[in-house]
Chain A
Amino acid sequence: MKQNNLYNYILSIADNSLILGQRLGELCGHGPTLETDIAGTNISLDLIGQCRNYYQYAAKVQGEGKTEDDLAFLRLEREYKNVLLVEQPNDHFGYVMGRQYLFDVFHLLFMNDMLNSKDETLAAIAKKGIKEVSYHKRFSGDWVKRLGDGTEESKAKMQEAIDDLWTYTDELFDMTEADKAMVSEGVGVDVSKLKEGYYKEVSQLLAEADLTVPESKYFTRGGKKGIHSEHMGYLLADLQYMQRTYPNMEW
């Protein structure tokens, strides 16, 4: 395939939205309150909507007659290139909001940069998504603050989530082969340059939330290369079940 790098690049962005959307989707009907349940599902649908745009574009670039559904539902675990952060489980509401916030800050910085992409389709997707992602960040950041600055129990749980998820943050800024190639063509976002601003912003909010910024310098990585955590297989089993059991099913 001529545009292999572009194809891989689009998929890596799409997979982050798909997998995080799926994780949030698992909570549909199980949110702590009706209001937060609907809010989480709204965010999930925003993300699924975004990844559809990416997959449609990736299928076109690939040019093998595949559809967005083929790409979303029928790849093998190793072929998904999302970061480890987004596949982490919904252990408790603190994890859900912590994971969301740690991703949202990155996501908004990323989209703001992708606006300037020479690739018109990617720039257009960013333009449409920025408002959604801005709201996601406002919502999740607000909850991190509320829980961190809340009761003794909520603070402990929020801190636990941030401590556990912190190890997955550095991978957001890793540059894959496809990343490097796309940056050099003016198409991709140089994520390594987003790192400083990211940690500054996150640390500032954690301080406002009366939470401690983890000091650990050990970071876990692998998702961007297709090497996922033990949670990913279960997630994909849920996600892919329908298409695998009833091939080409539509509704």
Chain B
Amino acid sequence: MSKNWPLWEIFVRSKNGLEHRHFGSLHAADAEMALVNARDVYTRRSEGVSIWVVESKDITASNPEHNGELFEPAQDKVYRHPTFYDLPDEVKHM
């Protein structure tokens, strides 16, 4: 058995209406403890109103070695950004 508790990724919603954002990670024996630890480690300065915890091993991440084939082809396709439209003045916050 590993001596360390498993690692958990912590997502916190900072206020209602906003999405949960990744805040960091911590160790805990199970999900319940991860929640309690996250409360103490990440929300003690009123940073949040809701917490999600996910065990790190359950996250599938892209391999940085594949960054070239995954992400570079998109870099010269500026036409995929919706920047070629004239926005009417009435439309705000775009």
Binding site for B on A (CB under 8 A): 33-36, 38-39, 42, 138-139, 142, 146
On chain B, the residues within 8 Å of A139 by CB distance are 36
Query: Total A-B residue pairs with C-beta atoms closer than 8 Å?
Result: 27
Contacting chain A: which of B11-19, B25-33, B79-87?
B25-33
* Chain B CB within 10 A, most for which of A34, A38, A42, A146: A38
Interface residue tally on B, bucketed by range = 10 to 19
11 A-B pairs besides A34-B41, A138-B36 with CB distance below 8 A are A33-B5, A35-B26, A35-B27, A35-B28, A35-B41, A36-B37, A39-B36, A39-B37, A142-B32, A142-B36, A146-B29
> A39 and B29: CB pair below 8 A?
no
Binding site for A on B (CB under 8 A): 5, 26-29, 32-33, 36-37, 40-41, 44
> A42 and B44: CB pair below 8 A?
yes
On chain A, the residues within 8 Å of B27 by CB distance are 33-35
> What's the Cα separation between A42 and B38 when bound, in Å?
12
> What's the Cα separation between A17 and B76 when bound, in Å?
63
> A42 and B40: CB pair below 8 A?
yes
